[in-house]
Amino acid sequence: MQSHIDRCRKAFDDIVRLIDEAQTIVICAHINSDGDALGSTLALSEIIAARWEGKEVTCLMPDKGEVPRIYRFLPDSDRLISACDYTGDPDLFICVDLSAPSRLGEAEELFRRAKKRAILDHHPCDDPQADAFVVRPSAAAAGIVVAEFALHLGLDISADIAQNLFCAITTDTGRFQYQNADAEAFDVASFLVSRGANPSEVSLHVYQSFQLAFLHLKSAVMGRITTFSHGRIAYSYATQADLARTGASLDECDGLVDVVRSVEGSEVALFLKEVPNGEVRGNLRSKTGRDISGVARALGGGGHAAASGFTIKGDIDDALSAALPLLKDLLDQEEAEEGTDRS
């Protein structure tokens, strides 16, 4: 952990200077905010409040609507407001868990209006649009980058900061089951527990408090799981009709990709969900070392090698017709390359 802090020292110092010079600061993550996005946003707000007295810090939700139910236990989650309710021009806009402004949703216009911009992220980005940034794709979660920023400041991390960051790392590593759950992720998580993070509370709220409506939806999704390309690709979906019938909420669907991911012998998992306005959101997961982020980018999305997503116009059939051939081509190409290497 210390080695990464040392390598990012100048970039962290640049962000410190931006915060020093700013009075009004906005922090915002990507649309369809997950545990890493929300935990990192809230933790960074608490870090700034602890280090800089008198700053006006606002935590934004890029989407309209409430904080997802499973994340409302996070300390200070009630401070999150919708971006459309913020009308000022902030001195500093800080992006966490994203580098592409196009994924800011309602907050993108505010990002453009801000006097200065900073980024703390772990998604690959060739050209971060910011005055200062730390973008480290080797980090398992944005929460790790935010934790390192706090340590760079010499801050005594509080239990609330630790809890938010632990949730960020836990969710982005799939409870430390994904390929990105490396030694650093465990090292930072252990450090956060020593500072007051409560793993059982995170697990209880995020993974063990499902409403009956969600479990009925999960049953429907499990019953639809299908394999493609000789079992290498597993996929399923949820429709708006499913949500209406079961009473499950849209924000509860994200974890269903892990149900699809559990199919024996599959290498890639695809979960689709219909959303309002005639769109379908797709979640992709790789179970091996295969990089599925290129498929997500080809469909207008992005993400990591092992976990990516996209949104397209159309229905479930349109989404399957677009995604499945790309995934098959990816697996076929990599299989051919592996065969060439062996020969």
Name the DSSP class of 157. Answer: -
Q: In whole angstroms, what is the distance from residue 179 CA to residue 209 CA?
A: 25
The pTM score is 0.89
The tokens describing 85, both together, are: 């309710």
Name the DSSP class of 233. Answer: E
Q: In whole angstroms, what is the distance from residue 153 CA to residue 56 CA?
A: 19
The percentage of residues in the chain with a pLDDT greater than 70, rounded to a whole number, is 98
Instruction: Please write the tens of the pLDDT for every residue from 136-163.
Output: 999 999 999 999 999 999 999 999 999 9
The tokens describing 172, both together, are: 């982005």
Sequence-distant (≥ 6) Cβ neighbours of residue 253 within 8 angstroms = 217, 238, 271, 273
pLDDT of residue 339: 63
The tokens describing 290, both together, are: 């295969």
Written as one letter, the residue type at 303 is G
Q: In whole angstroms, what is the distance from residue 283 CA to residue 296 CA?
A: 9
Per-residue pLDDT at 338 exceeds 80 = no
Distances, alpha carbon 114 to alpha carbons 25, 103, 293, in Å: 9, 16, 30
- Which of 220-224, 276-280, 289-293 bottoms out in mean pLDDT, i.e. has the lowest? 289-293
Triad 160, 163, 164: Cα angle to 5°: 90
Q: In whole angstroms, what is the distance from residue 5 CA to residue 41 CA?
A: 19
Residues comprising the chain, all counted: 343
Instruction: Please write the tens of the pLDDT for every residue from 162-172.
Output: 999 999 999 99
Q: In whole angstroms, what is the distance from residue 55 CA to residue 156 CA?
A: 19
Instruction: Please write the tens of the pLDDT for every residue from 197-256.
Output: 999 999 999 999 989 999 999 999 999 999 999 999 999 999 999 999 999 988 778 789
For tokens 């190409």, the residue is: 333
The tokens describing 252, both together, are: 């509860």
What distance lies between CA 325 and its chain's CA centroid? Answer: 25
Per-residue pLDDT at 260 exceeds 90 = yes
